Amino acid sequence: MNFILRIILPIFVSILSIGGGGLFAYFLLILILSVDGGGFRIFIGPPKSQTLLILALILLPFVIAVYILNKKKQNAIKKTIIASFVASFVMSFILIPYQSAILDFFKTPSKHVQSEIRSQVQQVIDRNQLPFVIDQKESESWTDDEVVRTVVYLRKIQEGDIEKNEVRAFIGTAFETDVKLVFNDQLVVNYVTVIIDKGKEVDCTNESYCK
């Protein structure tokens, strides 16, 4: 019994505290983001009363546990619970931006974003009178496979090779998100791929097209 109280119980309650602290931080963030401030709401979450109830239910067992342990003079276990809960709570807020960045990285661009990128590409085509058309269906299919960036699939409407000046016309374009441009010749035999990641260097399958 002493072994359980000294070893097993602290480990068990610490694990529960870690989970509880993380959950408490999560629902607290939902509550903060869903607060209506002057008609502006960052996040539309569940009703505030429901979120507050969940927060209370998460916190209640730990308050009771700390109270009972305090009455029984179990200071070591009590400190373990409090430390684990607080550490988990704080770490959750520290890690949230990184979690968001990771999720954004692996999130396929929305149809709206893809449409905006294709519009930008079309503007470059029109402005420079380039002999290319955008294949929307292929672009969306390639984007689904690519996941991390918008792909624009272009086909040349004239015979001949893909010229360097045709590709270079897109190099200086400031896209709002990461983009891959796939240039195909008329017969869809030869192609050149250009990756323009926001804030990074341009990468080409054939470097001579980017220089």
Provide mean pLDDT across the span 82-94: 81
* Tokens 């959750």, residue located: 92
Instruction: Please report where in the chains the tokens 């709206």 appear, as a residue.
Output: 112
pTM of the model: 0.53
Phi–psi pair at 173, nearest 5 degrees: -70, 130
CA-closest candidate to residue 177, choices 147, 210, 145, 135: 147
SS3 41: coil
Q: What is the per-residue pLDDT across 3-52, written as a single tens digit (0 to 9) for each?
A: 545 556 556 666 677 777 878 887 887 777 665 444 334 444 567 788 88
Reference 131, options 170, 158, 165, 153; nearest CA is 158
Contacts of 178 (CB under 8 A, 6+ apart): 148, 149, 150, 195, 196, 197, 198
CA atoms within 13 A on the CB side of 202: 20
Q: For residue 133, is pLDDT > 90?
A: yes
For residue 39, the model assigns a pLDDT of 39
Helix locations, 34-74, DSSP H: 48-71
Average pLDDT, stretch 182-203? 85
Write out the E strands in 12-167. Answer: 132-134, 150-156
